Amino acid sequence: MSNVLGEVLSFVLLYRYLAIAVVVYASAVIVPLPANAMLLAVGAFASQGYFNFWAVLAVAVGANTAGDLTDYAIARAFGGRVVRALHLHRFVFYEELQSELRTDAAVTVFTTRFAGALSTVANFLAGLVRVRFTTFFINDVLGNAIEPFGALAIGFAAGNYWSNLSEPIEIVAGMVAVAIVMFVLYRIYRRVARRR
C-alpha cells in the first residue's frame, strides 16, 4: 500500500463520508489522489459494516460530478481567453477538434469517465469548446454512477483481500484509460479524414 493511499485511508477512517467527498472531489478537479483505490478499500470496509455502501456511492457520484463541473465551468469561463492568448484559434487542427468534440460530446464525456485522470482533460476540453451543459451533465452523471460503483462493488466482494486487488486493478484501469483515449482520438480522426 502506498504512503499516499495510507494517509488517504487514515483521513477517510477518521472523517468518513466528508473525507470521501473531499478526496473524490479533489481527484476529479485535478489533484492526483488515489480515489479509485480508496473506493476499493471503502467497499471492503462497507462489507464489514463500517460504511453504508449506497451512501458512499451517492457521496462519490456527487463529489465526482461536482469536481467535473468545476473543471468544465473554469474552462468555459476562462478557456476562450487562453485560446486567444496562445493563438490556438488560428490552427486548423484546433478548429477541427472543436467541431468534433461538439459533435461527439455525449460519447466522449461518457467514455472518458472511465479514463482515470484523463477525464479531467475531457472536462476542460468540453468547457473550452462549449459543449452544451445538459449534454455534459447527463453523460457525466451516468459515467460517474458506473465507475465508482465498480470500485466499491469489487472492494465489497473482495472484503479483507481488497489490497491484493488494488495494484492489478490500477494496471487494468490504466489500460482501459489508454484504450478509451485511443477510441476517442480514432473517432475524431475518422471524421476529419472523411471530410477531407
Check residues 175 and 72 and name the one with the higher pLDDT.
72
- Cα dist. 182→11, 21, 90, 112, 139 in Å? 36, 30, 25, 11, 19
pLDDT at 61 over 50: yes
Percentage of residues in the chain having pLDDT higher than 90: 36
pLDDT digits (tens, 9 = 90+) for 87-134: 666 666 666 666 767 777 888 888 888 777 678 878 888 888 888 999
Which residues, 6+ apart, have CB-to-CB distance to 151 below 8 Å?
Answer: 36, 39, 40, 43, 169
pTM: 0.80
Percentage of residues in the chain having pLDDT higher than 70: 79
Q: What whole-number distance in Å separates Cα of residue 153 and Cα of residue 38?
A: 12
Q: Cβ(44)–Cβ(155) under 8 Å? A: yes
pLDDT at 69 over 90: yes
Q: What whole-number distance in Å separates Cα of residue 45 and Cα of residue 143?
A: 24
Check residues 45 and 185 and name the one with the higher pLDDT.
45
- Average pLDDT over the chain, rounded to an integer: 83
Q: What mean pLDDT do residues 52-75 have? A: 95
pLDDT of amino acid 1: 47
